[in-house]
A and B are shown apart, each in its own frame.
Chain A
Amino acid sequence: MELTLFVIIGAVSVAAAAMMLISENAVHSALFLILNLACIAFFFLMLDAPFLAMVQITVYAGAIMVLFLFVIMLLGAERVEPSRQPRFRWLTPMVIVLTLIFLVTTSVAIVDGKINLTEPQQIQPRVRVVHALEDVPQIDAYLNGAPIAQGLAFLENGDFSTHNPGRYTVAVFPAGADPKTASPLVEQTIDLQSGEALSLTAVGRSTPKLVLATEDLSYNEKKGTARITAINALPDRDWVSVFNDSSPDDRRVLIDKLDFGVAETIQVEMGTYTIGLYPSGNDRNSLAEFKDEKLDADVSLLWVFAEERRPDNSFVNRLVPLQTSTNPSFGGPSHVGQLLFSVYVLPFEMVSLLLLVAMIGAIVLTHEALPVRRKVERRLAVNPTVGVEQPASSEGK
């Protein structure tokens, strides 16, 4: 179906471009170009780039072409009479022949050229850090020397950052420590693979370690369920069990025997649950009950079971739910915005400056020339004795 749609819209766009070139009236050409731009916007939608499709319609068809139409109408340039200048006689056929040869060559190259189609659709991996280390108030995390999280408080998580697939070294330091000189709290080499969202949870008290929780971002097969990855960050317990305590007489076990520092993934139906956390070997007295945990469908959740030390040195068990969207919105506004304001800030600023300069330039160019101020001639007072006959002098006898 997508192929037939592509062929139809492609034919429309090529026909519109051809009509734009052939049409005598400039306004008709502009309208055909708008049709072509709308087809390109539709192609952007087919290519998983909805943000670009909307920007195309808003900026190109909505602003640029309107500007063109205004100028055409302003200059009265709908029809251009054949010019008095004789043209190179073979210009038109030569241009057509040459461009067609070029087109045939590039088409053959494209269709036969075996564009490398291995590994398409690889989504770039994302990494974030969760702080569940006891007795460390804040941490910084570095990936191959570049910071990915700074000043994370206890049970706080950093944002996802996108990286290229490969092998990286993760190092976690107390906040404010210099990564080059200080020794890390925990250091580990990890492999980032495409299509993963990796959450690195730093757990432990005296011997900290990193728990890798990979959330598979592929299409959720079981609709209506939430995918939960649970991490045990309670250092004093050997293992815990997680039960669904929603109804007191029908307790269902969700995860049995979750060891310390281990992540396990389960799929749970959507709904509102009361989750009970039970220590090893004792399924009567719960460590903690977390009421009203709402699970939406088709989300990927990361649950971190951790202990929080209260100011009065008592401990309370906490469940920290962290959410990752299962289907990343490739090409959506948030994706484009994340890239634009993190990696591409400098080109963004430069292009904004260019736009400003273009605006000022357009104003200067179309500004009517100010009337030339002629230099004011100042007329001197004419000597009244010049040109007046002197009466005969009475002196000088």
Chain B
Amino acid sequence: MKTPEVAVELYVLLSAILFIMGVMGVLLRRNAILVFMSVELMLNAGNLALAAFARQWANGDGLLMVFFVMTVAASEVAVGLALIVAIFRTEKAIDIDELHLLKD
């Protein structure tokens, strides 16, 4: 394989930027579904970094980790969205600032 034109640092830098934007979304947004989507953004940033390093070392293990992360993210989304739907049924709100049932 030829030497890559785009160095691995650029990919990891992009992955860091996307991850930070995901973190901001998790901390700042109020809609529970938006928080969830920001978590998905963070997971994708991690996948990008894994795939970049897998290409760097020409080792297929990195690609497999991406595969597993995607699968776990899918199952997490299924359960999380089911939880949100169940909460919405009782509380009629998904604003995370209002959902403080566990608080005294």
Interface window among A117-125, A180-188, A241-249, A305-313:
A117-125
Check B13–A37 contact: CB distance below 8 A. Answer: no
Check A347–B14 contact: CB distance below 8 A. Answer: no
State A43–B98 Cα separation when bound (angstroms). Answer: 39
Q: Which residue of B lies closest to A2 (CB)?
A: B5
Check A17–B67 contact: CB distance below 8 A. Answer: no
Check A122–B57 contact: CB distance below 8 A. Answer: yes
Main secondary structure of the interface of B (DSSP, over half): helix
Q: Which residues of B are found within 8 Å of A355, using beta-carbon distances?
A: 71, 74-75
Check A49–B61 contact: CB distance below 8 A. Answer: no
Indicate whether A177 reaches chain B with its CB closer than 8 angstroms.
no
Check A107–B59 contact: CB distance below 8 A. Answer: no
Q: Which residues of B are found within 8 Å of A14, using beta-carbon distances?
A: 14, 17-18, 21
Check A6–B12 contact: CB distance below 8 A. Answer: no
Main secondary structure of the interface of A (DSSP, over half): helix
Most buried by A among B76, B83, B85: B85
User: Shortest distance in angstroms between B61's beta carbon and chain A's nearest beta carbon?
Assistant: 7
Known A-B contacts A40-B48, A49-B63; A68 and B70 likewise in contact (beta carbons under 8 Å): no
State A358–B72 Cα separation when bound (angstroms). Answer: 9
Check B47–A64 contact: CB distance below 8 A. Answer: no
Check B77–A339 contact: CB distance below 8 A. Answer: no
Q: Which residues of B are found within 8 Å of A100, using beta-carbon distances?
A: 20
Interface string of A1-43 (1 = CB under 8 A from B): 1110010001001100110110000100110010011001001
Q: Which residue of B lies closest to A340 (CB)?
A: B64
Indicate whether B27 reaches chain A with its CB closer than 8 angstroms.
yes
State A124–B1 Cα separation when bound (angstroms). Answer: 12
Indicate whether B101 reaches chain A with its CB closer than 8 angstroms.
no
Check B81–A13 contact: CB distance below 8 A. Answer: no
Q: Which residue of B lies closest to A112 (CB)?
A: B9
Check B11–A21 contact: CB distance below 8 A. Answer: no
Indicate whether A335 reaches chain B with its CB closer than 8 angstroms.
yes
Check A365–B82 contact: CB distance below 8 A. Answer: yes
Check A64–B6 contact: CB distance below 8 A. Answer: no
Indicate whether B102 reaches chain A with its CB closer than 8 angstroms.
no
Taking a contact as CB atoms closer than 8 A, the residue among A10, A30, A110, A362 that contacts B78 in the complex is: A362
Q: Which residue of A lies closest to B10 (CB)?
A: A6
Known A-B contacts A95-B24, A121-B1, A124-B59; A49 and B64 likewise in contact (beta carbons under 8 Å): no
State A33–B6 Cα separation when bound (angstroms). Answer: 24
Indicate whether A146 reaches chain B with its CB closer than 8 angstroms.
no
List the interface of chain B (C-beta within 8 A of A).
1-14, 16-18, 20-25, 27-31, 33-34, 36-38, 40-41, 44, 47-48, 51-52, 54-61, 63-64, 66-68, 70-79, 81-86, 88, 94-95, 97-98
Contacts A63-B74, A95-B24 given; 12 further ones with Cβ under 8 A?
Answer: A6-B6, A29-B37, A59-B71, A60-B70, A80-B94, A110-B16, A123-B1, A331-B54, A336-B60, A336-B64, A339-B63, A362-B78
List the interface of chain A (C-beta within 8 A of B).
1-3, 6, 10, 13-14, 17-18, 20-21, 26, 29-30, 33, 36-37, 40, 43-44, 46-49, 51-52, 55-56, 59-60, 63-64, 67-68, 71-72, 74-75, 77, 80-81, 83-85, 87, 91-92, 95-96, 99-100, 102-103, 106-107, 110-111, 115, 117, 120-124, 194, 219, 330-331, 335-336, 338-340, 343-344, 347-348, 351, 354-355, 357-359, 361-363, 365-366
